[in-house]
Amino acid sequence: MMPPSLSLCVYCGSRAGGEPSYSAAADEVGTLIGRSGWQLVYGGGRAGLMGRVADSAIASGARTVGVIPQSLMQRELGHQGLDELHVVETMHERKQMMAERSDAFIALPGGIGTFEELFEVWTWRQLGYHDKPIALLNVDGYYDKLIEFLDQTQDRGFVAAAQRKLLLVDSDAATLMARITNAALVASRSDDYRRI
């Protein structure tokens, strides 16, 4: 189990999506964060899957950190029940602070904002800016087509196999969280461990 000092950054939709399983997965991830003694770092909103993760984490005893741009405070309903809510000026500041405050990253179902955040931290990992685990929770096949496309990018020579393997993928939240735990512990023990 990860020490309580470690933080998990969750990327997910500010909407609930069209399937009840997405909200259920957000609830499960938030609950697992709390039960594991982890800290949640996320985009600071109270709407959609973001709010579900935060509320479940709080209910399970997790410490919670939100980072939200001023321009989104009303749209995403900045969550007032967090241990820390940082209101920043830009999306760049938001993503940088979330990355700096986290020891691992997981993406749940979401839209283009979730995709952009996931690919950015994955790119940073490939470029050597950090060694933190990156994971994708494939709820009810939501990411099947994306995973298929990512495999194609490797097959066609644009993504190296080692880079592709950096993204941990699973459809079961508890299994994926265990994989994140193991990867984070291995990375943190490395002599050249790199944080953002």
In a domain, 64, yes or no: yes
**Confidence at 73, pLDDT banded by 50, 70, 90:** confident
So what's the pLDDT on residue 100? Answer: 96
* pLDDT value at 190 more than 80: no
Here the CATH number for the domain that contains residue 171 is 3.40.50.450
Percent of the chain with pLDDT over 90: 87
User: Given a cut of 70, is residue 15 above it in pLDDT?
Assistant: yes
Domain count, the chain: 1
Domain-embedded: residue 194: no
- Residue at 57 is within a domain: yes
What domain range is 134 assigned to? 7-188
Lowest mean pLDDT among 22-26, 80-84, 106-110, 183-187: 183-187
Query: Is residue 196 in some structural domain?
Result: no
Position 195 in a domain:
no
For all residues of the chain together, what is the average pLDDT?
A: 94
Q: Does residue 175 belong to any structural domain of this protein?
A: yes
- Residue 58: its pLDDT value, please? 98
Comparing 189 with 79, which gets the higher pLDDT? Answer: 79
Residue 191: band (very low, low, confident or very high) from pLDDT cuts 50, 70, 90: low
Q: Is there a contact between 29 and 63 (Cβ–Cβ < 8 Å)?
A: no
Residue 4 predicted with pLDDT over 80: no
- Residue 2 forms part of a structural domain: no
Grade residue 76 by pLDDT with cuts at 50, 70 and 90.
low
